[in-house]
C-alpha cells in the first residue's frame, strides 16, 4: 500500500476541514508550492490535490493551482469541480496523472456512461480515472459533502465496475479531519463486496499504526493529510514506508 500525501486548497491556502465542513477550517502557513517541493525532495512520487473551491463550483483557484502543478514532475491525483467530460480530457491531456470524478458522476445519470465511451477504450485511460465515493454512515455525499445521494453505496460501486472504472477514492466522512483512526469497517465492507477494486482510503489516518491497519486490508493506497501537518506522521516515515512497499512489489 502506497501513502499519497494530500493537499487540500481553499482560497489559495492549504487547509484541512473537519467532516468536510467549510465552517471548520484549519489553515496552514505553508504554500502549495513549498509543500509540493517538500514532498518531491523527499522522494514522494504522488501528490493528491483537491480544489475545495472547485468542489463548490467556484473555479477561482484553478489558475493558481495549475501554474504550480505544471512546474512539478510529481504524479498528481487531482479533484474538485471536475464537472464535464471535456474537463476530464483537458486535465489528462495537460499531464494530470489521475483525475477524480465525484459530484457529476452521481448527479448526471449519463456522465459515467459517456466518460466510459471516451476513455475506457483507450489503453490505460480507465486507470487514470478515480471515482470518489464520499460516505457518511453508508450514505454517499456530494457537492462538497453538502448533499446526499439516494443511490446505495454498493449499487454505485457495481455500476462503476460495469462501465470499466475500478479505482475508487473512498472517504469516511465520519473520520475525516479528526485524526481518530481510519474507517476500517467501511473499507472491509467495500472489499468484501468487490475484492478486486483498487481502493484508495481517505480520512482519519493519524499514525503509522493506522497505516499498518489499512495495509492489512490489501488497500492499494491511502491519502494522508492532516496527520502530516499536525506532525503525527513525518515525511521521512512516508518515504521509508513507500520505499519498503515498492521493494516488495
The catalytic site residues sit at 8, 134
Cα separation, 190 vs 157, in Å, equals 9
- Partners of 50 in the β-ladder: 8, 79
The DSSP string of 42-86 is: TT--EEEEEEHHHHTT--TTHHHHHHHHTT--SEEEEES---SHH
Strands 2-10 and 13-18, by their bridges, are antiparallel
Give CA torsion, residues 161, 162, 164, 166, to 10 deg: 0
In the three-class reduction of DSSP (H, G, I as helix; E, B as strand; rest coil), residue 118 is classed as helix
The H or E element containing residue 93 is helix 85-93
First to last CA, the chain: 10
5-29 as b/e: b if 16+ CB within 10 A? bbbbbbeebbbbbebbeeeebeebe
Cα separation, 199 vs 207, in Å, equals 19
Amino acid at each position: 500500500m502506497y501513502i499519497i500525501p494530500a493537499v487540500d486548497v481553499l482560497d489559495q491556502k492549504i487547509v484541512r476541514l473537519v467532516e468536510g465542513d467549510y465552517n471548520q477550517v484549519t489553515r496552514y502557513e505553508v504554500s502549495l508550492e513549498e509543500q509540493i517541493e517538500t514532498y518531491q525532495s523527499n522522494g514522494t512520487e504522488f501528490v493528491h490535490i483537491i480544489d475545495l473551491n472547485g468542489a463548490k463550483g467556484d473555479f477561482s483557484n484553478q489558475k493558481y493551482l495549475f501554474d504550480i502543478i505544471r512546474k512539478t514532475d510529481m504524479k498528481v491525483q487531482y479533484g474538485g469541480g471536475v464537472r464535464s467530460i471535456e474537463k476530464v480530457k483537458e486535465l489528462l491531456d495537460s499531464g494530470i496523472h489521475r483525475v477524480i470524478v465525484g459530484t457529476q458522476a452521481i448527479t448526471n445519470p449519463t456522465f459515467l456512461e459517456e466518460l466510459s465511451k471516451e476513455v475506457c477504450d483507450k489503453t490505460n485511460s480507465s486507470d487514470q480515472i478515480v471515482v470518489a465515493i464520499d460516505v457518511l454512515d453508508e450514505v454517499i455525499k456530494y457537492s462538497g459533502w453538502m448533499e446526499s445521494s439516494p443511490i446505495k453505496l454498493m449499487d454505485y460501486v457495481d455500476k462503476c465496475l460495469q462501465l470499466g472504472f475500478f479505482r475508487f477514492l473512498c472517504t469516511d466522512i465520519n473520520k475525516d479531519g479528526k485524526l481518530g483512526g481510519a474507517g476500517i469497517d467501511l473499507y472491509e465492507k467495500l472489499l468484501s463486496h468487490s475484492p478486486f477494486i483498487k481502493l484508495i482510503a481517505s480520512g482519519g489516518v493519524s499514525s503509522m499504526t493506522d497505516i499498518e491497519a489499512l495495509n492489512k486490508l490489501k488497500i492499494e493506497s491511502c491519502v494522508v493529510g492532516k496527520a502530516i501537518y499536525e506532525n503525527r506522521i513525518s515525511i521521512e516515515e512516508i518515504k521509508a514506508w513507500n520505499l519498503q512497499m515498492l521493494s516488495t512489489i
